[in-house]
Amino acid sequence: MVLRIEDTDSERGRQEWLDGILSAMAWLGLDADEGPFRQSEAEPRHRALADKLFEAGYLYACECSREEIDLRTKDNPTPGYDGFCSGRNVERTSETALRFRVPREGETVVDDIIRGQVVFPHHSMEDFVAVKSSGQPLFALANAIDDRDMAITHVIRGEDLLPTTPKQLLMWAALDHVDDLVPLPAFAHLPMLVNEQRKKLSKRKDPVAVESYREQGYLPEAFVNYLALLGWSPDGDREIVDRSELIDEFRLDQVHHAPAFFDVAKLTHMNGEYIRRLSEEEFVLQAQPWVNPSAASWTPEGYETPWPTERFSDVVFASIAPLIQERITMLSEIPAMVDFLFLKDAPIDEAAFEKAVIKDEKAVLILTKAREVFGATPFETDALHEATVTFGDEMELKLRKTQAPIRVAVTGRSVGPPLFESLVLLGREEVDRRLGAALERAQR
C-alpha cells in the first residue's frame, strides 16, 4: 500500500490534516508499505510531462473565463466546456489554462473489478482542464503521472470518482506516447456510504472523521471489522471477523454495487462485543485515556476526568473493571460508570433521585434500614446481598425495588455496576455517610 498525500491544492494540504490522516491510519493499524509521499513534491515532473503533452498536441491552451463559457453554453443541451479554443491555436501564456483534447469520436471503457465494463462516449465528455493558468497540474494529470511512476497496480476508491476515470485513461494513453509505456492499473470503485436517510454521508452533517470514533471509545479492531462489512460479507452469517480472516477472505470482485448504510447503532453493538472479548488486563489498559490520562499515551481531545487526579486509584479501578466491561459498548461510557468511586460525594442524577427516593414512599424506610443492617453485617458482597434480600422480604419488596434507593443514594445513578460489589469498594464508613446524606436530603 502506497500512501500518497494529494496536496496539490494548497487550500487542502495543511499539515494538521496530514497529521490527522497519519494518526487515524496508525490507530487503525493500516500501515503503508511506502510513503507518505507528498504529491506536491513531484510537481516538477508533472510540469515537464505537461509540456510534452502540449508539444504533442494532447493539451491545448485555453483563454476562456468561466463567465465566458457559461454565457456561450447556457442554452446547450449538454453542459460543460464547448471546445471553443480547441482549434484556435491560442498562445500559451501565464493567463491560459491547458485543456486535454478529448477525441470527438468513439468511447472510453473503464474495466472495473466491481462494476464490470462502464462505457463513456467521448461526445459526452468535455475537454477538461489539466493544468491551471498558474501552471499547477490538476488531479487527472498529476494522479496519472504519479500512478505510473509509482507502478501502482490497483486503484481502489469511491464510486463518486468513477466519472474521472475515463479522463485518467485518456491521459494515460497520451502519456504512453510522450513517456515510457506503462501498464494500466486495475480499477475498483467501491459503493458510497449512506446515512439513515439513505443519503450520501456528508462531512457537514454526519460523523465521518475517524478521530471522532476513537475519541468516543471505539476499538480499532471493531472499527476495521465493521468497515470491511460495508458492501461485502464473508461466507456464512459471521459479523465478528478477525483482521487476519478479513485479509484472507476479502475479494474486491465480491463487493456489492449498492450503497452501504453506515449504521452507527450496529457499529456500537459490534464495539461492545469487541470490548467484552478483551482480557481484564487489556481492558484496563484501553480504559486509561478515560480514567487515568496521565498514564496513557493518548487522550481524547479536551477531555478531563470528572474526578481529581489524586482521588483515582488503580487498585479500585482494576477491581471494578471486570464488572463494567460487561456493561458498556464504548470506552467513553466508563467515567459515568465509576465516577462515584473517585468523587468525594455521589454524583447525584436529580431525575433518578426524584424517582427512586423522593417519589418512593418506602425509600426513607429502606435507607434507614440499610444503614442499620449494613452497620452490623460483614462488609462482603454475598453478606450484603443476603442482608438486603432479607430486610426487603420483611417489607414485602423484591430485591430490585429494595436496591433502587440504595443505589441512587450511594452511586448517584439508577444504572451502574453491580451494587453490592460497589458497596464493598466504597467501604462501610463511606457507604454509611452517603446513605445518611441521602436520608437528610430526602427529609428536607
What is the reported pLDDT for 404?
A: 97
Q: Which of 130, 156, 190 is the last residue of a domain?
A: 190
Residues in the chain: 444
In a domain? residue 362: yes
In a domain? residue 206: yes
Q: Are residues 369 and 396 in the same domain?
A: yes
User: Is the pLDDT reported for residue 14 higher than 90?
Assistant: no
Active site residues: 203
Total of domains in the chain: 3
Q: Are residues 265 and 182 in the same domain?
A: no
The enclosing domain of 38 has a CATH number of: 3.40.50.620
What is the reported pLDDT for 15?
A: 84
In a domain? residue 266: yes
In a domain? residue 314: no
Mean pLDDT (whole number) for 121-137: 95
Report how far residue 133's alpha carbon sits from residue 95's, in angstroms, rounded to the nearest whole number. Answer: 5
Mean pLDDT (whole number) for 129-151: 95
What is the reported pLDDT for 78?
A: 78
Q: Are residues 123 and 45 in the same domain?
A: yes
Q: Are residues 228 and 265 in the same domain?
A: yes
In a domain? residue 296: no
Q: Which of 190, 220, 235 is the last residue of a domain?
A: 190
User: Is the pLDDT reported for residue 444 higher than 90?
Assistant: no
Instruction: Give residue-wise pLDDT tens across range 150-194.
Output: 999 999 999 999 999 999 999 999 999 999 999 999 999 999 999
Cis peptide before 207 (omega within 30 of 0): no
Task: Tell me the average pLDDT of the chain.
Answer: 95
Q: Are residues 116 and 225 in the same domain?
A: no
User: Is the pLDDT reported for residue 16 higher than 90?
Assistant: no
In a domain? residue 303: no
Structural domain including 374 reads: 345-442
Question: Which position has the grid cell 470482485?
Answer: 253
Instruction: Give residue-wise pLDDT tens across range 34-71.
Output: 999 999 999 999 999 999 999 999 999 999 999 999 99
Report how far residue 307's alpha carbon sits from residue 137's, in angstroms, rounded to the nearest whole number. Answer: 54
Mean pLDDT (whole number) for 258-285: 97
Mean pLDDT (whole number) for 236-253: 94
Neighbours of 314 (CB within 10 A): 12
User: Is the pLDDT reported for residue 209 higher than 90?
Assistant: no
Report how far residue 255's alpha carbon sits from residue 191's, in angstroms, rounded to the nearest whole number. Answer: 8
- Report the b/e string of 337-356 with b at 16+ CB within 10 A: bbbbbbeeebebbeebbebb
Mean pLDDT (whole number) for 357-377: 96
Instruction: Give residue-wise pLDDT tens across range 284-318.
Output: 999 999 999 999 999 999 999 999 999 999 999 99
Mean pLDDT (whole number) for 191-217: 89
Q: Are residues 60 and 157 in the same domain?
A: yes
In a domain? residue 334: no
Q: Are residues 169 and 210 in the same domain?
A: no
Mean pLDDT (whole number) for 346-374: 96
What is the reported pLDDT for 206?
A: 80
Q: Are residues 206 and 181 in the same domain?
A: no
Report how far residue 273's alpha carbon sits from residue 241's, in angstroms, rounded to the nearest whole number. Answer: 11
Mean pLDDT (whole number) for 133-153: 95
What is the reported pLDDT for 12?
A: 67
Q: Are residues 421 and 272 in the same domain?
A: no
Query: At 266, is the pLDDT very low, low, confident or very high (cuts 50, 70, 90)?
Result: very high
The enclosing domain of 247 has a CATH number of: 1.10.1160.10
Is 52:179 a contact under the CB 8 Å cutoff?
A: yes
Instruction: Give Cα separations from 165 to 151, 188, 250 (angstroms).
Output: 17, 10, 24
Is 275:331 a contact under the CB 8 Å cutoff?
A: yes
What is the reported pLDDT for 395?
A: 95
What is the reported pLDDT for 184?
A: 97
The model carries a pTM of: 0.90
The enclosing domain of 370 has a CATH number of: 1.10.10.350
In a domain? residue 305: no
Q: Are residues 32 and 122 in the same domain?
A: yes
What is the reported pLDDT for 205?
A: 79
Instruction: Give Cα separations from 404 to 31, 294, 357, 394 (angstroms).
Output: 49, 35, 8, 16
pLDDT: is 199 or 410 the higher one? 410
What is the reported pLDDT for 278?
A: 98
Q: Are residues 216 and 184 in the same domain?
A: no
What is the reported pLDDT for 58?
A: 98
Q: Are residues 379 and 255 in the same domain?
A: no
Q: Which of 253, 277, 301 is the last residue of a domain?
A: 277
